[in-house]
Protein backbone atom coordinates (compact mmCIF):
# COMPACT_ATOMS: atom_id res chain seq x y z
CA UNK A 1 0.00 0.00 0.00
CA UNK A 2 2.85 2.41 0.78
CA UNK A 3 4.41 1.80 -2.63
CA UNK A 4 1.08 2.40 -4.38
CA UNK A 5 0.58 5.65 -2.47
CA UNK A 6 4.15 6.73 -3.22
CA UNK A 7 3.64 6.01 -6.95
CA UNK A 8 0.33 7.88 -6.90
CA UNK A 9 1.97 10.93 -5.29
CA UNK A 10 4.84 10.75 -7.77
CA UNK A 11 2.44 10.62 -10.73
CA UNK A 12 0.42 13.53 -9.35
CA UNK A 13 3.54 15.63 -8.92
CA UNK A 14 4.84 14.71 -12.39
CA UNK A 15 1.51 15.62 -14.02
CA UNK A 16 1.44 18.96 -12.22
CA UNK A 17 5.03 19.75 -13.25
CA UNK A 18 4.35 18.83 -16.89
CA UNK A 19 1.26 21.03 -16.88
CA UNK A 20 3.17 23.98 -15.40
CA UNK A 21 6.07 23.56 -17.86
CA UNK A 22 3.75 23.40 -20.86
CA UNK A 23 1.81 26.45 -19.73
CA UNK A 24 5.08 28.32 -19.11
CA UNK A 25 6.39 27.37 -22.57
CA UNK A 26 3.23 28.63 -24.26
CA UNK A 27 3.15 31.86 -22.22
CA UNK A 28 6.86 32.60 -22.82
CA UNK A 29 6.49 31.83 -26.53
CA UNK A 30 3.46 34.08 -26.88
CA UNK A 31 4.94 36.95 -24.88
CA UNK A 32 8.21 36.91 -26.83
CA UNK A 33 6.47 37.10 -30.18
CA UNK A 34 6.56 33.45 -31.04
CA UNK A 35 9.93 32.17 -29.90
CA UNK A 36 11.20 32.16 -26.34
CA UNK A 37 14.43 33.40 -24.82
CA UNK A 38 16.08 31.92 -21.77
CA UNK A 39 18.95 33.32 -19.67
CA UNK A 40 19.86 35.88 -22.32
CA UNK A 41 19.83 33.41 -25.23
CA UNK A 42 17.17 33.55 -27.92
CA UNK A 43 15.73 30.28 -29.15
CA UNK A 44 14.89 30.25 -32.86
CA UNK A 45 13.48 27.61 -35.16
CA UNK A 46 15.37 26.74 -38.36
CA UNK A 47 12.96 26.59 -41.27
CA UNK A 48 15.30 25.76 -44.17
CA UNK A 49 18.05 23.28 -44.95
CA UNK A 50 20.63 25.88 -46.01
CA UNK A 51 22.91 25.08 -43.04
CA UNK A 52 22.61 21.28 -43.14
CA UNK A 53 24.07 18.96 -42.03
CA UNK A 54 25.28 21.05 -39.06
CA UNK A 55 21.90 22.67 -38.45
CA UNK A 56 18.98 20.58 -39.67
CA UNK A 57 15.59 21.82 -40.82
CA UNK A 58 13.19 21.80 -37.87
CA UNK A 59 15.95 22.25 -35.29
CA UNK A 60 16.03 24.93 -32.66
CA UNK A 61 19.20 26.96 -32.20
CA UNK A 62 20.45 29.10 -29.34
CA UNK A 63 21.53 32.59 -30.35
CA UNK A 64 23.38 35.24 -28.34
CA UNK A 65 22.00 38.70 -29.18
CA UNK A 66 23.69 42.03 -28.56
CA UNK A 67 27.23 43.23 -28.42
CA UNK A 68 29.33 44.85 -31.12
CA UNK A 69 27.95 43.61 -34.43
CA UNK A 70 31.21 44.61 -36.17
CA UNK A 71 33.15 41.93 -34.24
CA UNK A 72 32.39 38.95 -36.46
CA UNK A 73 34.98 37.27 -38.65
CA UNK A 74 35.15 34.74 -41.45
CA UNK A 75 33.76 31.41 -40.22
CA UNK A 76 31.36 32.86 -37.61
CA UNK A 77 27.70 31.90 -37.94
CA UNK A 78 25.34 34.84 -37.54
CA UNK A 79 21.61 35.45 -37.68
CA UNK A 80 20.59 38.51 -39.67
CA UNK A 81 17.46 40.17 -40.95
CA UNK A 82 17.14 40.03 -44.75
CA UNK A 83 15.68 42.74 -46.97
CA UNK A 84 12.40 40.80 -46.83
CA UNK A 85 12.45 41.01 -43.00
CA UNK A 86 13.18 37.28 -42.68
CA UNK A 87 15.67 35.96 -40.14
CA UNK A 88 18.47 33.94 -41.77
CA UNK A 89 21.29 32.04 -40.08
CA UNK A 90 24.36 31.66 -42.35
CA UNK A 91 28.14 31.48 -42.09
CA UNK A 92 30.36 34.50 -42.84
CA UNK A 93 32.68 33.78 -45.78
CA UNK A 94 34.12 37.30 -46.00
CA UNK A 95 34.14 40.27 -43.63
CA UNK A 96 35.10 43.83 -44.61
CA UNK A 97 35.01 47.08 -42.67
CA UNK A 98 33.91 50.33 -44.30
CA UNK A 99 36.43 52.78 -42.88
CA UNK A 100 34.25 55.78 -43.76
CA UNK A 101 31.17 54.60 -41.85
CA UNK A 102 32.80 52.17 -39.40
CA UNK A 103 30.21 49.59 -40.43
CA UNK A 104 31.10 45.98 -41.21
CA UNK A 105 29.80 44.20 -44.30
CA UNK A 106 29.54 40.44 -44.27
CA UNK A 107 29.33 38.11 -47.24
CA UNK A 108 27.39 35.07 -46.02
CA UNK A 109 26.65 31.57 -47.29
CA UNK A 110 24.61 28.65 -46.10
CA UNK A 111 26.84 25.60 -45.57
CA UNK A 112 24.53 23.54 -47.81
CA UNK A 113 24.25 26.22 -50.54
CA UNK A 114 26.39 26.19 -53.69
CA UNK A 115 27.07 29.94 -53.78
CA UNK A 116 27.27 32.83 -51.32
CA UNK A 117 24.20 34.98 -50.69
CA UNK A 118 23.68 37.67 -53.33
CA UNK A 119 23.67 40.72 -51.09
CA UNK A 120 26.22 41.47 -48.39
CA UNK A 121 24.85 41.87 -44.86
CA UNK A 122 25.36 45.14 -43.02
CA UNK A 123 26.33 44.83 -39.37
CA UNK A 124 23.20 46.92 -38.63
CA UNK A 125 21.08 43.98 -39.81
CA UNK A 126 22.83 41.36 -37.67
CA UNK A 127 20.56 40.17 -34.88
CA UNK A 128 22.65 37.60 -33.02
CA UNK A 129 25.48 35.09 -33.12
CA UNK A 130 24.89 31.34 -33.30
CA UNK A 131 26.26 29.70 -30.14
CA UNK A 132 26.78 26.25 -31.62
CA UNK A 133 23.87 24.77 -29.67
CA UNK A 134 21.20 23.06 -31.73
CA UNK A 135 18.53 20.50 -30.89
CA UNK A 136 17.13 18.63 -33.92
CA UNK A 137 13.39 18.39 -34.63
CA UNK A 138 12.27 20.38 -31.57
CA UNK A 139 11.52 23.36 -33.83
CA UNK A 140 8.57 21.50 -35.33
CA UNK A 141 7.07 21.14 -31.84
CA UNK A 142 7.87 24.79 -31.01
CA UNK A 143 6.13 26.00 -34.16
CA UNK A 144 3.12 23.86 -33.29
CA UNK A 145 3.12 25.14 -29.69
CA UNK A 146 2.90 28.78 -30.77
CA UNK A 147 0.12 28.14 -33.29
CA UNK A 148 -3.48 28.66 -32.16
CA UNK A 149 -4.26 24.94 -32.31
CA UNK A 150 -1.04 24.09 -30.47
CA UNK A 151 -1.68 26.63 -27.73
CA UNK A 152 -5.17 25.29 -27.19
CA UNK A 153 -4.01 21.67 -27.12
CA UNK A 154 -1.07 22.40 -24.83
CA UNK A 155 -3.35 24.24 -22.42
CA UNK A 156 -6.39 21.96 -22.52
CA UNK A 157 -4.92 18.44 -22.80
CA UNK A 158 -2.72 18.60 -19.67
CA UNK A 159 -5.58 20.26 -17.79
CA UNK A 160 -7.96 17.48 -18.80
CA UNK A 161 -5.36 14.87 -17.85
CA UNK A 162 -5.03 16.45 -14.42
CA UNK A 163 -8.80 16.62 -14.05
CA UNK A 164 -9.28 12.96 -14.99
CA UNK A 165 -6.45 11.91 -12.70
CA UNK A 166 -7.99 13.91 -9.83
CA UNK A 167 -11.40 12.30 -10.47
CA UNK A 168 -9.80 8.84 -10.57
CA UNK A 169 -7.90 9.53 -7.32
CA UNK A 170 -11.10 10.79 -5.66
CA UNK A 171 -13.04 7.71 -6.82
CA UNK A 172 -10.32 5.40 -5.46
CA UNK A 173 -10.32 7.26 -2.11
CA UNK A 174 -14.14 7.10 -1.86
CA UNK A 175 -14.12 3.38 -2.69
CA UNK A 176 -11.54 2.72 0.02
CA UNK A 177 -13.55 4.80 2.51
CA UNK A 178 -16.77 2.93 1.67
CA UNK A 179 -15.04 -0.42 2.16
CA UNK A 180 -13.69 0.74 5.51
CA UNK A 181 -17.13 2.00 6.63
CA UNK A 182 -18.79 -1.21 5.46
CA UNK A 183 -16.31 -3.27 7.44
CA UNK A 184 -16.90 -1.18 10.57
CA UNK A 185 -20.69 -1.25 10.35
CA UNK A 186 -20.98 -4.94 9.50
CA UNK A 187 -22.68 -6.86 12.36
CA UNK A 188 -20.30 -9.00 14.27
CA UNK A 189 -21.00 -12.73 14.48
CA UNK A 190 -23.28 -13.59 17.41
CA UNK A 191 -21.68 -15.29 20.33
CA UNK A 192 -22.61 -18.93 20.74
CA UNK A 193 -23.91 -19.93 24.18
CA UNK A 194 -21.92 -22.46 26.12
Catalytic, 48? Answer: yes
Name the nearest CA neighbour of 105 among 88, 125, 85: 125
**Which one from 32, 37, 48, 122 is the annotated catalytic residue?**
48
Q: Model confidence over 147-161: pLDDT tens digits?
A: 777 767 777 777 787
Looking at residue 90, what is its pLDDT? 92
Which pLDDT band, with edges at 50, 70 and 90, does 91 fall under? very high
Position 127 pLDDT exceeds 80: yes
E strands, 4-86, are 37-38, 41-45, 60-65, 77-81
Q: Give the mean pLDDT of the chain.
A: 79
CA-based torsion, 161, 162, 163, 165: positive or negative:
positive
Q: Domains of the chain, with CATH numbers?
A: 35-140 (2.10.109.10)
Band (37; pLDDT cuts 50, 70, 90):
low
Amino acid sequence: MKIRKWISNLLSTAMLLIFILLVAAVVVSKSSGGEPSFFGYEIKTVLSGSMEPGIQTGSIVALKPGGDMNRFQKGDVITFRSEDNILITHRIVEATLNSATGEALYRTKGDNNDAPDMNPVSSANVVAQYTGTTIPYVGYAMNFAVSKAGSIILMIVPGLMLLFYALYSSWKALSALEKKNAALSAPSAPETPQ
